[in-house]
Structure 1
Amino acid sequence: MNNPPIEISYDDREHADILLELLSFNTDIYLVKKRLKLGDYQINNWLIERKTLPDLATSLCSGRLFSQISRLSESSYNTALLIEGSSHDIATYDITREALIGAICSISLNFNMPILRSLSQAESAKILYFCATQLNSRETGTISSGRKPKRQKNRQLFILQSLPQVGPKLAKRLLTHFDSIEAVFTASVKELTKVEGIGQEKARRIREILTLK
């Protein structure tokens, strides 16, 4: 008996016609268009956020990148970031290679999020296909629910401790005060100083590292 096709859901706001067309050519893949609250693609218990290099650079400069990554990291699903494009795509952008490398390292290490790289939509289609077939082949009853182990708070505290001069105690105060990592990452200098142990200078340094300004 033939195995049923592997379902890949994609967000209805995703603009990747070539990628989706190439994926549809695989007879063992079943594409489902839907509105995803997070991520651009869902495969089993994984959410994959696809960003072109221009998207990545723009969201990094605006300060939106880490808020979005934080929301993904705090979700109950496993998450990965697919970065698409080459350095030529951002040749005219006012951003350094070091800033991009720093952001990628932070996402990979501090948020424990795998980074997938491709040069084009065609290559992204191949990566998503490989992800789907490999995830489907290893899926067992122990992970089929799509839920992460209940260690979210420890992971949140670990992420907050990556901020300048933020130790375990201050990380707990930040999480208690703001309730979520996203709220911390989007807080203004004035809002940050309301937390015991954070003065103007420390708040300014936190905002600088999050916005690279």
Structure 2
Amino acid sequence: MEIGMDRREEERVLEKLRGLGAGVSVSDLEIGDYILSQRVVCERKTRADFENSIIDGRLFRQLARMQENYERVLVVVEGENSSGRVSRNAMLGAYASILADFGAGVFFTKTPEATAELLFAIARYEQESKKASLPVFAKRKCLTLLDYQRAVVQSLPNIGPKMAEELLAHFGSVKNILCAPSEQICTVGRIGEKRARMIKNVIEREYESGKEGKTEEEAEQ
């Protein structure tokens, strides 16, 4: 069983996951903090960060991106002490929005270790019971042509499994996606103009061997 984890996440969660027997791939995730299966993504927040992200709206932007790319979205709120910056009514409204607007589940844990145990249980259920393991970790002999097509599309900027399926269904092949102008790409799902331009930059920019290259934001300039 494998779990994808953002490298900026809590070290104690990583240690506990590995102690439980999970294989953990640590990288710079563009969407979410943990990828638990092909269809499940999780955002982990401390109690203080959860409240701050409600105030500045960051939580809902993150949820929108996760919802665009994955079938199931989870939020784990870790810790017990509230900062008191968000009123009870505002907090209840945020919970309602998370559930009603984004279809996401909210879980509460007390410690990083408890978070790891929850993530492990969900990943195990998904990958063993639902047979929804992460394709990037699958053995080569198990991969099908469809797996390879999805993997190619998912390698594009900010494209997860759900959005990859929508692109392939819309254009019919990987070739058609790669050849499509950004004006057509941006009309699929909720990709939008900015993400479509990033995709075309990756496809069309000349490769500069031996150089570190530019970030997505720099490439846009």
- The answer to whether the aligner puts 1:38 opposite 2:31 as a matched pair is yes
Task: Answer whether contact 1:71 1:182 (CA < 8 A) is retained.
Answer: no
The answer on 1:110 being equivalent to 2:81 is no
- Does residue 129 (structure 1) correspond to residue 129 (structure 2)? The answer is no
Does the 8 A contact of 1:67 with 1:182 survive in 2? no
Question: Which of 6, 13, 18 is the aligned partner of 2:8?
Answer: 13
Cα distance between partner residues in 1 of 2:92 and 2:191 = 22
Question: Separation in 2 of the partners of 1:53 and 1:60?
Answer: 11
Find the aligned partners of 1:123 and 1:71 in 2 and give their Cα distance: 26
Aligned mates of 2:192, 2:94 — CA distance in 1: 16
User: Taking structure 2 as the reference length, what is the TM-score of the superposition?
Assistant: 0.58
Q: Which secondary structure does the structure 2 equivalent of 1:10 belong to?
A: strand
Q: Secondary structure at the match of 1:21?
A: helix
Could you give the per-residue CA deviations for residues 115-146 of structure 1, whole angstroms, max 9, x where no partner exists? 222121111011011111111122348x9765
Q: Equivalent pairs: percent with the same residue?
A: 26
- Give the superposition deviation at 1:8: 0.7
State the shift of 1:111 in Å. Answer: 0.8
| Cα distance, 1:18–1:123 mapped onto 2, change above 3 Å | same
In the superposition, relative to structure 1, how do residues 133 and 127 fare at CA in structure 2: closer, same or farther (>3 Å)?
A: same
- Aligned residue runs from structure 1 range 59-208, under 5 A: 59-86=53-80, 88=81, 90-91=82-83, 93-140=84-131, 146-147=161-162, 180=190
Partner of 2:45: 51
Alignment CA distance shift 1:125-1:100 (3 Å): same
**Secondary structure of 2:43's match?**
strand
Q: Distance in 2 between matches of 1:107 and 1:48?
A: 13
Residue in 2 aligned with 1:190? Answer: none
CA distance change for structure 1 residues 182 and 13 in 2, over 3 Å: closer, same or farther? farther
Residue 33 (structure 1) shift: 0.6
Q: Within 1, Cα distance between the matches of 2:62 and 2:192?
A: 8
* Compared CA separation, residues 18 and 119, structure 1 to 2 (3 A): same
Tell me, in whole angstroms, the C-alpha distance in 2 between the residues paired with 1:24 and 1:140: 21
CA distance in 2, matches of 1:81, 1:49: 5
Evaluate the alpha carbon distance shift between residue 53 and residue 181 of structure 1 in structure 2; reply closer, same or farther with a 3 A threshold.
Answer: farther
Find the aligned partners of 1:71 and 1:79 in 2 and give their Cα distance: 10
Structure 1: segments with no counterpart, 5+ residues: 1-5, 151-178, 184-213
Match for 1:67: what amino acid? R
Aligned length: 145
CA distance in 1, matches of 2:36, 2:26: 13
